[in-house]
Amino acid sequence: MADDNIFKVLEFDATTILDSIIVLILAYILVRVLSFILVKVSERVNRYRFSVKMMLPVLKFSIYGIALYHISGNILNLSPNQLLAISGLIGAGIGFGLKDLFADVIGGIVITLEKPYQVGDKIKIGEYYGEVSDIGIRATKLVTPEDNLVFAPNFMVFTQPVSNANAGGHELLAVIDLYIDSDSDAASAMKILKEAMITSKYVYVSKKRPYTVLLKDYPFYRRLRGKAYVNDLRYEFEFQSDVTRRAWDEFSRKGISAPKVNIMEAGTSGSGEIQ
């Protein structure tokens, strides 16, 4: 008798299959529509952008989960034995080649629950760096600084370290390195870099988001390192460019110069090799 029930799994009629497909299509449409609305709403309420976008992956997994539950329980009317049989089939599928897909889905669930990153964060995962634009069932979409769309498989969260630059916050710490000649006035250069940072249209300064300017001496040049938070992480590179441009404009006016090419001269003297 039990065996009969198991084999009934294969006895789906066309209506059952059609109903299941319709439910999946409806779930897909619902996910797309709600994602679209949430993204639009999040852009309108800029301050709470991340809070709204955080709901996206939870929403997706919930809708697809409910759709699958509805298909198995109400459309297919699967008994426990039938579920067991299907589980066996899925297990075999995973064994034969769906292993990665399964790992991606589990990775997606872990990302949703544990939140190592959220939609809108700037992350580095494996060799990829960019802004998380979507967390899907199978992959996380990243937009790189070159505006390329990268699909990073969700299972990477198990195998690769994840570096999150803002962890759900709006701001992101940007680092700007400028190199000046050893003979230039370092104090004046540090003041200029500080002012270029704190007057930038992209900066955000508060007690929790302070800025710093550091100086390091190298044999043939000095490195100025400015650290400040960008108001919105989407403007990370605009901020760096804005500060660099305005700092160098002022350096030129104040006679602060870039390192000379004496590295090459020193390196090539005598042996002709760079030391």
Question: Do 215 and 226 meet the contact criterion of CB atoms below 8 Å apart?
Answer: no
* CB nearer to another protein: pick between 77 and 199: 199
Residue 234 C-beta: closest distance to another protein, Å:
10
Enumerate long-range contacts of 65-71, CB under 8 Å, 24 or more apart. Answer: 66/27, 67/23, 67/24, 67/26, 67/27, 70/23, 71/19, 71/20, 71/23, 71/24
Can you tell me which residue has the tokens 């390329």?
A: 148
* CB nearer to another protein: pick between 80 and 255: 255
As a whole number of angstroms, the distance between CA 109 and CA 51 comes to: 18
208 near another protein, rule: CB under 8 A: no
* CB nearer to another protein: pick between 196 and 224: 196
Beta carbons within 8 Å of 91's beta carbon, 6+ residues apart: none
* Binders in 137-166 for another protein, by CB under 8 A: none
Question: Do 105 and 139 meet the contact criterion of CB atoms below 8 Å apart?
Answer: no
Question: Do 149 and 186 meet the contact criterion of CB atoms below 8 Å apart?
Answer: no
Size of the site for another protein (CB under 8 A): 24
As a whole number of angstroms, the distance between CA 130 and CA 203 comes to: 20
* Binders in 233-272 for another protein, by CB under 8 A: 235, 242, 245-247, 249-250
Of 5-13, 86-94, 175-183, 198-206, the segment contacting another protein by CB under 8 A is: 198-206
198 near another protein, rule: CB under 8 A: yes
Binding-site member from 75, 133, 195, 220 for another protein (CB under 8 A): 195
* CB nearer to another protein: pick between 119 and 247: 247
In the complex, which residues of this chain contact another protein (CB under 8 A)?
45-47, 170, 192, 195-196, 198-199, 201, 204-207, 211, 231-232, 235, 242, 245-247, 249-250
